Amino acid sequence: MNILQGEIIAREAHGSVCLLTVQAGGVQLSASLLAQPAVWQQWECGRAVSLQVPEMDVAIAKDFHGSCSIRNCLPAQITAIESGQILSRILLSLTPQQQTLAAVITTRAVQQMQLQVGDAVQAMIKSSAFCVLDQRAATEPV
């Protein structure tokens, strides 16, 4: 499980849908959440949060140019590749914030993309993949 530390800098909500913008180590991340207004109203600007995202929900793009509906496209460098027969775990160093992120993708994708340690890539995370945790009690979702 990946955990990125940050602070809420914006909140937009309508009904039970809430979109948070979180500043995490020099990068703005979007997290879309479904919650009753009584719950999302506590997610105020300035609140320290942890964004949790499973390794299987992190995609990798190499030499990507163009538009994409995925809101969180983070520049990264591959620091390690642990290849299995079917799946591979890719360790990434996010730039410029130097946080670590892991992605699990198919070994076939690693081979087709010719991924290697040192490659510059983009880690891509859908805004709906994040679970937002209060840093004061980082074991429970906010």
Nearest to 93 by CA among 25, 8, 23: 25
- As a whole number of angstroms, the distance between CA 21 and CA 23 comes to 7
pLDDT band at 140 (very low <50, low <70, confident <90, very high): low
**Per-residue pLDDT, 105:** 98
Per-residue pLDDT of 99-136, as tens digits, reads: 899 999 999 999 999 999 999 999 999 999 999 988 76
Per-residue pLDDT of 48-92, as tens digits, reads: 999 999 999 999 999 998 888 998 999 999 999 999 999 999 999
Q: How far is CA 105 from CA 38, 66, 141, in A?
A: 37, 22, 26
**Per-residue pLDDT, 84:** 96
